[in-house]
A and B are shown apart, each in its own frame.
Chain A
């Protein structure tokens, strides 16, 4: 599975839009891009998933360029409660359906 690379940490202020970019240069045709959010003492929580172009839900947007070698998670107008670790995963829905976590991005939202 493709290895993902994302910034270790980011700081933002309440009300700002936050964009977290993940690179996955070796992504394969069968692979999807999935983002999870994790708060302390909790398990990761699914945020959004996409294959190409743009996906939007009530929480976030996911932008994937045509070459799919990177993706950007966009969180609109963050609040203090969005402080968490955000993981970008490349997931393959064939064979063993393996989901591999990277190091994640620790987002800190400041007042």
Chain B
């Protein structure tokens, strides 16, 4: 099966611009998560979708970040306007049935965002 894919792999934008990151989860996975790691810090949870619904968005840093998952398939994470502190690696992960314990997360390779 194809893994979690993220696009683009790298993005360099100027402060104030808009960037949209895309994540395609493993087919059939209801759960989709966004995480990010900023330089030198831990991988931090951003939000969790169950199908098309936001289950938990407690990790979203502010209202410049907007995540969507229309139709419960792929997801996008938009940053508008981007700030310098948004630089980091953004990871997407998916997992299978949320009702089943033992469903591990499958991660994509991340999008490295650099805001200059």
Contact = CB atoms under 8 A, between A and B. Distances in A.
A49 B55 CA distance: 23
Interface of B: 4, 31, 33, 35, 42-45, 48, 55-56, 91, 93, 95, 98, 100-110
Interface of A: 32, 34, 36, 41-46, 49, 87, 93, 96-104
Contact of B98 (A97, A103, A104): A97
Tell me if A's interface is mostly helix, strand, loop or mixed. Answer: loop
B58 to A, nearest CB: 8
Which of B35, B48, B101, B104: most chain A CB closer than 10 A? Answer: B104
A43 B107 contact: yes
Which of A41, A44, A46, A97: most chain B CB closer than 10 A? Answer: A97
A32 B44 CA distance: 19
Given A42-B110, A101-B44, 8 more contacts: A34-B104, A43-B110, A46-B105, A97-B48, A97-B98, A98-B56, A100-B45, A101-B42
